[in-house]
Amino acid sequence: MMILDGKTLSQKIIDDLSLEIRNLNLHPVLDIIIVGDDPSSQKYVQLKQKRAESIGINGTVHQLNQNATTQEVISLIEKLNQDKNVSAFMVQLPLPPQIDTPKVLSKIDPDKDADGLNPFNLGLLFQKKSTGSAPATACGIIRLLEEYQIDIGGKNAVIIGRSSEVSIPLFALLLGKNATVTICHSHTENLQEICKKADIIISAIGKPKFLTKDFIKDQAIVIDVGFGIDKNGQVSGDFDFDEVSKIAEFITPVPGGVGPMTIASLLYNTVQIAKNQNL
């Protein structure tokens, strides 16, 4: 078993971005919109801002009230779309239930879309277009597989979860790398049987230790996007790491796997956007 070390790779990517920013004399600005006071989202936004500032990406966190309306979020997005001093921005998800998330994401200028979640940019993925920003988590997972020289072509890849933020763009990226891709979800029948056939299995459902070794075939490549607290109060991903790591060929840890790669990919997108604006 080999650990897919997202922490080390993300630092390498961020160091390269820092050098690029200095060499090109770029001044990227990444703003973040967050609605409400969810502790996990607050912590994640702080981490993103800290990592951005460490390499010369400035920006503002726009904090909106938990009871903010869809229109209030859209008004802020339209303001940032027009602000020439803001290179790129993103909306921290999930949003409170009263907010129409698809409508909000559709209002982001595709050319300022740091997290790649505007429907236009998502559509480009399915056309195998290299233009536009790819969603940060999905992009980070592909980069991690490539770093460890894992051949995706021809592999049977199973994604558990069907979110538009992670699973759908990951489907497009894996398909673009010539994998055979299956998406499973809460209505999928025979989930265990499907998972046991996967060469690459990726879960993004947020259920700590939901997937045991009985879901994994020997020498599978296991990517854990989940993050939660198990019944013992410990941080855990969707996979039971202690069990699954004994039979997997490669596995991402939680924390230290996909999370750092998501931030690195977000900053990578921001730098690419800033470079395009400087042309």
Sketch the domain layout of the chain as residue ranges. 26-108, 136-258
What is the structure's pLDDT at 77? 98
Catalytic one of 5, 31, 49, 92: 92
The pLDDT of residue 131 is 67
Catalytic residue list contains 48 = yes
Same fold, 26-108 and 136-258: yes
**pLDDT attached to residue 59:** 97
Concerning whether 63 is annotated as a catalytic residue, the answer is: no
Kindly indicate whether the domain formed by 136-258 is annotated with CATH number 3.30.160.60.
no
Three-state DSSP class for 238?
coil
Model pLDDT, residue 10:
98
The reported pTM is 0.95
The hierarchical CATH code for the domain 26-108 is 3.40.50.10860
* Options 5, 31, 115, 240, the catalytic residue: 115
Q: What are the φ and ψ backbone dihedral angles of 114, each rounded to 5 degrees?
A: -65, -30
Q: Identify the burial level of 48 via C-beta atoms within 10 angstroms of its C-beta, where 0-12 means exposed, 13-18 middle and 19 or more buried.
A: buried
Low-confidence ranges of the chain (pLDDT < 70): 130-131, 279
Contact 237/258 with Cβ under 8 angstroms? no
pLDDT of residue 127: 87
Distance CA 139, CA 177 (A): 12
Identified catalytic residue from 5, 31, 48, 238? 48
**What pLDDT is recorded for position 232?**
84
| 82 catalytically annotated | no
